[in-house]
Amino acid sequence: MKSRALRRSGFTLIELLVVIAIIAILASLMLPAIGAVQKNARRKQAQTQIANLAGAIGQYQTKYSRLPSSAQTRAAVTDARPDFMYGTVQDGVQVMSSKGKQDYAQVRNASGNAWQISNAELMTILLRETRTINGQMINKGNELNPQQEVFLTVRSESGRKPDRVDEQDGVYRDPFGFPYVVILDLDYDGKVRNPFFGAPGEREFLNVPVAVFSLGTDGQVDFARPASGQTAKGTPNADNLYSWK
């Protein structure tokens, strides 16, 4: 009587290792593509948020015939620097990024005044809140938004999260985790000074009452170089996003 060959079931160790190796190779090939898709999605999200923030400030100006700013901010501008830049410094220190770090570009209002503040002031006014910033009560009793209108739809959460307004410091961070930088036309001449003026190809003024930009994925900006375009490639400005570009 002939013996029957036993049918093999399952995989051998070598076969399993081969399958794992193939999966690992495929994953390594896909990861850069996935990362690029995620990065592009964050950039598109930031562009939408920049447009919405600029639009909300415009709506505020239409409603109240003024731009959203505190008395301290209005007093911080000069004849030479009549526009105010809401940067990355607040309460005397650099605002933390979503990663809990301060080692990204420091952006300050250029008037030389000690009053330096982030977009938290704008968010406090636009979202009909009250907040103490730089030792001053901002929008106390809704004095800067007396009709108590919410001008911007954005989520507020604690923990310095990207794409959120932080409930603790009031800062609106972009999808990369850095504060949005905003320039307001506080002399009401219909334009703001281009922060990149002096770099090759950059005009002195932007013909808008409000300008908003993101520091991009690296959190860096170089005002001595062109803001964007071919000449900005390979510089800290290459990944920045602007409301006027």
Amino acid identity for residue 80 in this structure: A
Handedness of CA 14, 20, 24, 30 (dihedral sign): positive
DSSP string covering 76-93, please? T--SSS-SEEEBSEETTE
Q: Each residue of 156-177: b (16+ CB within 10 Å) or e?
A: eeeebebbbbbeebbbbbbbbb
156 within some domain:
yes
Q: How far apart are CA 49 and CA 242, in angstroms?
A: 11
pLDDT reported for residue 19: 84
48 within some domain:
yes
Q: Give the single-character DSSP code of 173.
A: B
Residue 44 DSSP SS3: helix
7 within some domain:
no
Instruction: State which residues form the domain around 121.
Output: 13-242
3 within some domain:
no
pLDDT reported for residue 245: 85
Tens of pLDDT along the chain (245 residues)? 445 544 555 678 888 888 888 888 877 777 676 666 777 889 999 999 999 999 999 999 999 999 999 999 999 999 999 999 999 999 999 999 999 999 999 999 999 999 999 999 999 999 999 999 999 999 999 999 999 999 999 999 999 999 999 999 999 999 999 999 999 999 999 999 999 999 999 999 999 999 999 999 999 999 999 999 889 999 999 999 999 98
Task: Record the tokens describing residue 155, joined without a space.
Answer: 């989520």
- Counting the structural domains of the chain, the total is 1
38 within some domain:
yes
pLDDT reported for residue 21: 84
pLDDT reported for residue 102: 93
Cα 47 to the chain's mean position, in Å? Answer: 9
207 within some domain:
yes
8 within some domain:
no
